Structure 1
């Protein structure tokens, strides 16, 4: 008798466990949940790509500044901060973390001035 009761209880517990698992999985596979999961994954992926792109842009800018400094030193050119080229000011204009940030300033650049 005890053996039958044990196996009956074990079967009921297994059935409840399996039913619970199946119901949870079915709720995960509803169209609403699938759409929400896909949207969350897309947002996470977009944020990761954005972080990598920003990091890459910062690395490029840092390396460009370092190379410009090397070239200026090699050519004996010393930059006068009062007469910075327009492209440097345009770059500073977009870098809000830079203390030299200039807001709402426009610069005209005539390509013929360099000739």
Structure 2
């Protein structure tokens, strides 16, 4: 008699366990539950992507500073501006204000048009 009671109790417990397991799985497979799971995964993925983007941005800023230090871009700048470039243009003998401009005047008037009849 004790043996029958043991097996009856074991069977009842297994039935309750299986029924509970099946009901939980069915609740997980309802459309509302699936939508909630998908939304949770999407939010989690969004957080991971945001963390990744912030890590990439921090790495970019760090690398820019490293490159700036290597190239000397962060060095203190003196207040002087470079010399004007117009002075170099005036030194050309082809410039009309140059003292030897008359000597090179013929070069300015000579046509280099290939389509011109000679």
- Does the alignment reach a TM-score above 0.5? yes
Tell me which stretches of 4 or more aligned residues in structure 1 moved more than 2 Å. Answer: 77-80
Q: Which residue of 1 aligns with 2:75?
A: 78
The alignment yields a C-alpha RMSD, in angstroms, of 2.0
Q: Which residue of 1 aligns with 2:5?
A: 5
Normalised TM-score (structure 2): 0.60
Q: Which residue of 2 aligns with 1:60?
A: 60
Q: Which residue of 2 aligns with 1:103?
A: none
Q: C-alpha displacement at 1:49, in angstroms?
A: 1.1
Q: Which residue of 2 aligns with 1:21?
A: 21
Q: Which residue of 1 aligns with 2:31?
A: 31
Q: C-alpha displacement at 1:78, in angstroms?
A: 2.8
More helix by share: 1
Question: Gaps (5+ residues) in structure 2?
Answer: 78-118
Query: What are the superposed Cα offsets for residues 27-57 of structure 1, whole Å, 9 maximum, x if unpaired?
Result: 1111111110111111111111111111111
Q: How many residues align?
A: 78
Question: Gaps (5+ residues) in structure 1?
Answer: 81-115
- Larger displacement relative to structure 2 (31-40 or 1-10): 1-10
Q: C-alpha displacement at 1:79, in angstroms?
A: 3.7
Equivalences for 1:92-107 in 2 at 5 Å?
A: none
